[in-house]
Structure 1
Amino acid sequence: MKEPTATEELVFTKHATDVMAERRIDEKLVRETLTSPDLIQRQPDGTTHCIRMFADRGGRWLRVVIAASGAQRKVVTVFFDRRLRGRRAHHAGP
C-alpha cells in the first residue's frame, strides 16, 4: 500500500464518527495524524495505522486506522493508544 496523501478523498465510517464523538476526538486531530504521522504501520489485513503523538494532549498517541480503496481513504477507527504511553515521538514523514 502506498503512503497516504492529502489529495486522496477521505471518508469516515459510521464506526469512526461514532467513536470520535464518544472519545471527543476532533477531525482536525485525525487529519493532522494522517498528514504528518510519527509512525506508520502497515498491517497484514491491508489496513494502515497512522500514529501521532500530541504533546498538548498529555503526550497521548492517536492511532488512526485507514483502509485504501482506489483514490479513497476510509477511516475505519480512531483511538488514543495507551500501549504507546511513555514512548518518544520520531517523525515518520518526509
Structure 2
Amino acid sequence: MRPYDLTQHAKDVISERNIQVGWIEQVLELPELVEPDADDPPLTHHVGRIKEYGNRALRVVFNSRANPVRIVTVYFDRKMRGRL
C-alpha cells in the first residue's frame, strides 16, 4: 500500500458516511476505473466496486502529485451504477 494522507474534508466524509479505510485502500490499489479530473489536472479519480456494500461504486479523489498522495474526498458515486 502506498502512503497517503487525508484532507480534513476526506476525514469528515469518511466518518459521516461510514466509509471503511480498507475500502479506500482497496480502490486506491486496485481501481476498476481511473479518470483524470476535468477541472484540476493534479487530481485523479479511482473508482471501484465495494462488494460488502452492495457492489456500490466508491470514488476516491486524490492529488497524485503530492507525496504522499493526498486524498481530497471519497464518496459512493450513484452515477457509476451500471457503468462498472
Indicate whether the TM-score tops 0.5.
Answer: yes
- The TM-score with structure 2 as length reference comes to 0.88
Structure 2 unaligned runs (5+)? Answer: none
The structure 1 segments of at least 4 consecutive aligned residues displaced by more than 6 Å after TM superposition are none
Structure 1 unaligned runs (5+)? Answer: 1-5, 89-94
- The TM-score with structure 1 as length reference comes to 0.79
Percent identity reads 35
| Contact map agreement 1:10 1:72 (CA 8 A) in 2 | yes
Partner of 2:13: 19
| Contact map agreement 1:63 1:78 (CA 8 A) in 2 | yes
The alpha-carbon deviation at position 54 of structure 1 amounts to 1.5
Alignment coverage as a number of residue pairs: 82
Between structure 1 and structure 2, the one with the greater Rg is 1
Distance, in Å, in 1 between the alignment partners of 2:37 and 2:58 is 17
Deviation per residue, 1:48-88 (Å, 9 max, x gap): 00000122311200000001334320000000000111233
Out of 32-41 and 65-74, give the one that drifted further: 65-74
Distance, in Å, in 2 between the alignment partners of 1:40 and 1:68 is 12
- Alignment map for 1:7-86 (pairs within 5 Å): 7=2, 9-44=3-38, 45-46=40-41, 47-86=43-82
